[in-house]
Amino acid sequence: MIEHLKKLFAGPETGASEPDPHQLAVAATALMVQLSRIDQNEDERELQTIVDCAVKAHQVTREEAEAILEDALDHAEDATSMYEFTGQINEHLNQHAKQVLLESIWRVAFADGRIDKYEEHLIRRMADLLHLNHREYMQARHRAESSG
């Protein structure tokens, strides 16, 4: 899995136009892991929500989603910024898919029953980096809140 992260950070290979679904799953999961750590309280409910979102969004088994989560947890500090993750996502996902990802990120934030001001600020930054406007940001929040 470390090789997948190295490829993710190295950027696209010349001539490679199709994204690696696993790389996109790791990138999306890494954003959720960063969110789960922002309030200094990595909650088990948040981690379970990350796995649930990965299963649903990436059509992977629960075991694969847990492996992706473990990999993202082990290497979350390696990412000095979110640009590596959001760049990969922006390159390969359309606007709707990015909104769905932001909704999943909001679900992680809501998983522990409260939204910390740091969580909200980080989600806003993620939305900006994913080129989502305020309306899309709020729609994702409301969908996540009403589904929980």
pLDDT at 76: 65
Q: What does the buried/exposed string (b/e) look like for 101-116 if buried means 16 or more CB atoms within 10 Å of the residue's CB?
A: bbbbbbbbbbbbeeee
Q: What does the pLDDT look like over 49-74, one tens digit per residue?
A: 999 988 888 888 999 999 988 877 77
Parts of the chain with a pLDDT under 50: 1-9, 11-16
pLDDT at 131: 97
Q: What is the tally of structural domains in the chain? A: 1
Question: Domain of 142: which CATH number?
Answer: 1.10.3680.10
pLDDT at 12: 45
Domain of residue 34, residue span: 2-147
pLDDT at 8: 46
